[in-house]
């Protein structure tokens, strides 16, 4: 009698679990369909197309296996774009995080008028890439730009901020840092406000100064937020396109020809869709590897309260 009752309860439980499962699937079905159509299908199609040659309309013409990938890594222009992307990332990501962290740290100080500065620090979030790029293009203008006018005022020679291979990467990197500070600042200041004030009170008791609190309390307890900002910043840097398209178009001499702009040029200017999709797959692999490394580092270095 007891065994039969337990089996009946078990059957009812399994039936209820199946019912809940299908109800859950029904609720997520619209999102799942959109995800399959706009994410999974394009991703699979990209991998397939990277193994073929295509005509200028994008139709597959000939299966070439990994020939597109082989040609990529024998192409000096593509290799230059990889180097430029890593250089751009090495410049923009650390600068963005350091400046945003500095602004966030000083923003939590209860000073008069700090609310105005908090608005200013986060204001770049409301600026589109196009508008920001146009604004900076006037600053960088070789003859009427404010930066060169200041240099001329102090007796210096004008600089080709966007036309010189020596300065173009630095210029677009500074624009990207300026545009990304707003988002990083807001995330970091949110993380700082979640740190329990008792830690700082304990540091005050033992006579800990600003740098002691920053090294021993703020950065360790802010590490989850810092790693989140780091991950997002690196992914953004690898996928950067708008600033390059508006300011330099990959020039001069391919010095700012980042990976995404290279993909755009190959697909929509040269109509080499096989090569472009191969570049897209390589970019995906790069971002995936970087993300996995960051997850491993997060497990080792991140401190939770």
In tens digits, the chain (305 residues) has pLDDT values of: 556 667 777 888 888 888 888 888 888 899 989 999 998 999 999 999 999 988 888 788 888 889 999 999 999 999 999 999 999 999 999 999 999 999 988 888 777 777 787 888 888 888 888 899 999 998 998 888 889 999 888 888 888 899 998 899 999 999 999 999 999 999 999 888 888 878 778 877 877 777 888 888 888 888 888 888 998 999 999 999 999 999 999 988 899 999 999 999 999 888 889 999 999 999 999 999 988 888 787 767 666 65
Question: Does any domain span residue 149?
Answer: yes
Same domain, 243 and 188: yes
Residue 60 belongs to a domain: no
Identify whether residues 169 and 221 lie together within a single domain: yes
pLDDT score of 44: 92
Residues 24 and 158 in one domain: no
Cβ(63)–Cβ(51) under 8 Å?
yes
Same domain, 263 and 170: yes
- The boundaries of the domain holding residue 85 are 77-301
The reported pLDDT for the residue numbered 59 is 82
Report if pTM > 0.75.
yes
Q: What is the pLDDT of residue 94?
A: 94
| The pLDDT value given to residue 285 | 93
Confirm whether 58 is domain-assigned. no
Q: What 3-state DSSP class applies to 305?
A: coil
Task: Report how many domains make up the chain.
Answer: 2
Q: Are residues 98 and 233 in the same domain?
A: yes
**Position 222 in a domain:** yes
As a whole number of angstroms, the distance between CA 276 and CA 259 comes to 10
User: The CATH number of the domain where 251 resides is what?
Assistant: 1.10.3720.10
- Do 92 and 233 share a domain, yes or no? yes
Residue 178 lies in a domain: yes
- Is 243 a member of any domain? yes
Domain shared by 95 and 175, yes or no:
yes
156 and 106 in a common domain: yes
Are 117 and 6 within one domain?
A: no
Distance CA 238, CA 85 (A): 6
Q: For residue 92, what pLDDT is reported? A: 95
Q: What does the pLDDT read at residue 196? A: 80
- 128-149 burial code (b ≥16 CB/10 A, e <16): ebeebbeebbebbbeeebebbe
Is 66 a domain residue? no
Q: Are residues 115 and 34 in the same domain?
A: no
For 52, phi then psi, to 5°, come to -125, 160
In a domain, residue 64? The reply is no
38 and 100 assigned to the same domain: no
CA separation for the pair 150, 176 (Å, rounded): 22
């Amino acid at each position: 009698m007891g065994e039969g009752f337990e089996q009946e309860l078990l059957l009812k439980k399994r039936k209820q679990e199946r019912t809940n499962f299908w109800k859950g699937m029904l609720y997520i079905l619209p999102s799942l369909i959109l995800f399959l159509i706009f994410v999974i299908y394009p991703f699979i199609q990209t991998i397939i197309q990277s193994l073929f040659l295509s005509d200028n309309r994008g139709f597959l013409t000939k299966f070439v296996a990994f020939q597109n990938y082989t040609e990529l890594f024998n192409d000096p222009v593509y290799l230059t774009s990889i180097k430029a992307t890593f250089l751009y990332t090495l410049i923009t990501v650390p600068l963005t995080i350091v400046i945003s962290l500095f602004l966030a740290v000083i923003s939590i100080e209860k000073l008069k008028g700090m609310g105005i500065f908090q608005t200013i620090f986060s204001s770049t979030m409301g600026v589109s890439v196009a508008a920001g790029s146009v604004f900076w293009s006037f600053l960088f203008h070789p003859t009427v730009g404010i930066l060169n006018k200041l240099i001329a005022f102090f007796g210096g020679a004008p600089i080709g901020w966007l036309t010189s291979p020596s300065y173009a990467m630095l210029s677009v990197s500074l624009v990207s840092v300026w545009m990304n500070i707003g988002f990083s600042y807001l995330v970091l200041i949110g993380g700082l406000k979640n740190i329990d004030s008792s830690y700082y009170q304990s540091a005050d008791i033992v006579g800990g100064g600003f740098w002691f609190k920053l090294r021993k309390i703020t950065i360790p307890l802010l590490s989850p937020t810092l790693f989140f900002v780091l991950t997002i910043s690196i992914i953004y840097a690898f996928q950067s396109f708008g600033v390059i398209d508006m300011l330099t178009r990959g020039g001069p001499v391919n010095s700012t020809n980042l990976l995404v702009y290279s993909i755009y040029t190959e697909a929509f200017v040269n109509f080499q869709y096989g090569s472009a999709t191969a570049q897209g797959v390589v970019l995906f692999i790069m971002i995936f590897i970087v993300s996995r490394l960051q997850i491993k580092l997060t497990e080792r270095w991140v401190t939770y309260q």
